[in-house]
Amino acid sequence: MLDIKRNLTTMTDFYELTMSAGYLEEGYQDKICVFDMFFRRVPDGGGFAIMAGLEQFIQAVDNLHFTQEDLEYLRSTGVFSELFLEYLKDFRLHCNIWAIREGVPIFPHEPIVTVEGPTIECQLLETLLLVTFNHQCLIATKANRIVRSASGRPVMEFGARRAQGYDAAYYGARASYIGGCGSTSCVMAARDFGIPASGTMAHSWVQMFPSEYEAFKKYAELYPNACMLLVDTYSVLKSGVPNAIRVFDEVLKPMGKRPLGIRIDSGDIAYLSKKARRMLDEAGYPDCTICASNSLDEYLVRDLISQGARVDSFGIGENMITAKSDPVFGGVYKLAAVKNEDGSYQPKIKISESSEKLTIPGLKKVWRIFDEDGKAMADYITLYDEEVSTEHGITLFDPVETWKERTYVNCTAQCISTPIYVEGKRVYECPSLQQVKAFCKEQLATLWDEVKRFENPHGYYVDLSQKLWDTRQELLRAISKEI
């Protein structure tokens, strides 16, 4: 396994350290502040994203410490004082951290992770937090788009060789499994995460033998219980499928074995799969499945199915493991509040020149509103000390177009901001990956189909409580008077 206990404390941007050193010099190290991670848009123009990466973030946080080697490197830069290096030597976490659980659908602008604690600690977590969640949320979201496009047909993650590095392949396989893939070709990920391993053969296997028939024959003899033959090295219909059928007849049938399937990795897959299906059926192998690969994505998979392609499963590589069509999740980590000496919170806001970068101030919680049938209707962001009652219904309004409001009745509200650390001590136990995958499937079933559309999905509502909206408006008015 990639070392889950490896020290990732210095997986941080250099300016996090220079700012932290400055906070120490100013005596701000014990000032309590609140940071939120959120994202501003769903990749590929989708209606939702999927939360993933919490377990890896926890593993990293559990092992946060500066080694002597780390300190010597920082000393060698000539930037940091001995006072700061001494502070880092005894560094340990005191933060409260809340997060939305893995597998839950998430939406723009709501805090998916909130960190409350001493300023330096919050600052040093930023890069580690963002790189973890930005990657796995992205891949889980892309994988789920592809899985949904397959309309119930199995999807295998085949992307390790095209991923941007070892970690991207390894954790990308994990995220794709959360998103709905049934297996992975990455052996390390399969072993460590308990994901089913899958794979067939390469064209080089076929090329290595004197003939395609001999390559198929040897493979069938070696793997009679899992015989999946790659039939497009030379010609799918003229040689690949006929040679596969011959091997099924001559090798597997005498053993009492049935073929697992064939894989097509090039050409017009819709046309070839229909022809191959007919050939296999006529030869007595209606149970022999057809797998398609070859740089597929959700749109190609959907088109193949709509064109009547006789494909039973899909192997997806580069377009999923790199989220090629929209490869940046764009999560950010912003200061939301500073705690006063009396225990109250002073909300902080970032305005910027772009309205879409307006942040939501304060220490907050996220609630999900469900109707009586268990369908998710909206997310509701409140300040930390607000409780949500739906006994007499609840009225929500759009935080931008405030005249748009809706009252929900016969509904329930569930807080989805889950405590992970309390004063630096972990209070959350990670479920197994298989449990996360099943939970994700359950959570996705709570979304309306209109939210799941690939093109022009219905906009899911993420609204602010009246108290939170008023807080933001007061801050905006106060700042506008100063600038």
Residue 9 within any structural domain of the chain: no
Mean pLDDT of the region 32-57: 98
Residues 335 and 473 in one domain: yes
What is the percentage of the chain residues whose pLDDT exceeds 70? 99
Residue closest to 417 by CA, chosen among 122, 124, 106: 106
In this prediction, residue 4 has a pLDDT band, given cuts at 50, 70 and 90, of low
Burial class (CB in 10 A: 0-12, 13-18, 19+), 370: middle
Mean pLDDT of the region 29-53: 97
Burial class (CB in 10 A: 0-12, 13-18, 19+), 268: middle
- Write the CATH number for 124: 3.20.140.10
For 465, half-sphere exposure in the C-beta direction (CA atoms, 13 angstrom radius) is 21
Mean pLDDT of the region 426-450: 98
Residues 317 and 198 in one domain: yes
Residue 135 within any structural domain of the chain: yes
Mean pLDDT of the region 407-433: 97
What's the confidence (pLDDT) of residue 58? 97
Per-residue pLDDT of 197-225, as tens digits, reads 999 899 999 999 999 999 999 999 999 99
What's the confidence (pLDDT) of residue 3? 55
**pLDDT exceeds cutoff 80 at 195:** yes
Residues 48 and 72 in one domain: yes
The residue from 302, 321, 340 where one domain ends is: 321
Residues 332 and 363 in one domain: yes
What's the confidence (pLDDT) of residue 354? 72
The sign of the CA dihedral 121, 92, 363, 33 is negative
**pLDDT exceeds cutoff 70 at 1:** no
Residues 152 and 108 in one domain: no
Per-residue pLDDT of 166-191, as tens digits, reads 999 999 999 999 999 999 999 999 99
Cα first-last separation, the chain: 53
Residue 6 within any structural domain of the chain: no
**pLDDT exceeds cutoff 80 at 32:** yes
The residue from 293, 321, 349 where one domain ends is: 321
Bridge partner residues of 366 (DSSP): 381
What's the confidence (pLDDT) of residue 353? 73
Mean pLDDT of the region 282-293: 98
Residues 179 and 288 in one domain: yes
Residue 444 within any structural domain of the chain: yes
Per-residue pLDDT of 300-318, as tens digits, reads 999 999 999 999 999 999 9
- Phi-psi bin for 27: left (phi > 0), alpha (psi -120 to 50), beta? left
In this prediction, residue 362 has a pLDDT band, given cuts at 50, 70 and 90, of very high
| Residue carrying the six token digits 């929500």 | 396
Residues 182 and 261 in one domain: yes
What's the domain range around 252? Answer: 147-321
What is the percentage of the chain residues whose pLDDT exceeds 90? 93
Q: Cα separation of 477 and 483, whole Å?
A: 10
In this prediction, residue 5 has a pLDDT band, given cuts at 50, 70 and 90, of low
Helix (H, G, I), strand (E, B) or coil at 213: helix
Split into its structural domains, the chain has a count of 2
| Residue carrying the six token digits 């793997």 | 223
Residues 468 and 383 in one domain: yes
Longest Cα pair distance anywhere in the chain, in angstroms? 87
Q: pLDDT averaged over the chain?
A: 96
Residues 307 and 415 in one domain: no
Residue closest to 324 by CA, chosen among 301, 297, 292: 297
- Write the CATH number for 307: 3.20.20.70
Residues 42 and 186 in one domain: no
